[in-house]
Amino acid sequence: MDQHGDLALAYVMAHEWGHHLQNLQGLSTVQYPTSTGKELQADCLAGVWANSTYYEGQLEPGDFEEAMNLAVAIGDDTLGVPEGQGSHGSAQERQTWFKYGYDTGDGSQCVVQ
């Protein structure tokens, strides 16, 4: 993970924190019966966290790109997971939802369709 940069590692941690929020809010089984929706929502919530980090002045130039590059690296399609068998979403989906959370800065907007 180190080779992807410090914000990339923080993105993974924020993604896992997003799963914790899902569990606290009961979203794990109610809102998203499939795992892909839950995973993409966690990416969106990680983007919300990155947004707050930006406004706190803690992001360095290139940090956002590090997270976006990691989203590509860990997409189901990039990892060679056969279509329909993955659970985390494609590289593009992961980038889209992380960026959406980052752009909105609002976790209530992280509703994956």
Average pLDDT, the chain: 84
Q: What is the per-residue pLDDT across 21-70, written as a single tens digit (0 to 9) for each? A: 888 887 665 566 568 888 899 999 999 999 998 888 888 888 889 888 98
Structure token pair of residue 77: 């399609």
Share of the chain above pLDDT 70, in %: 86
The pTM of this model reads: 0.86
Residues near 49 by beta carbon (within 8 Å), at least 6 away in sequence: 14, 17, 18, 101
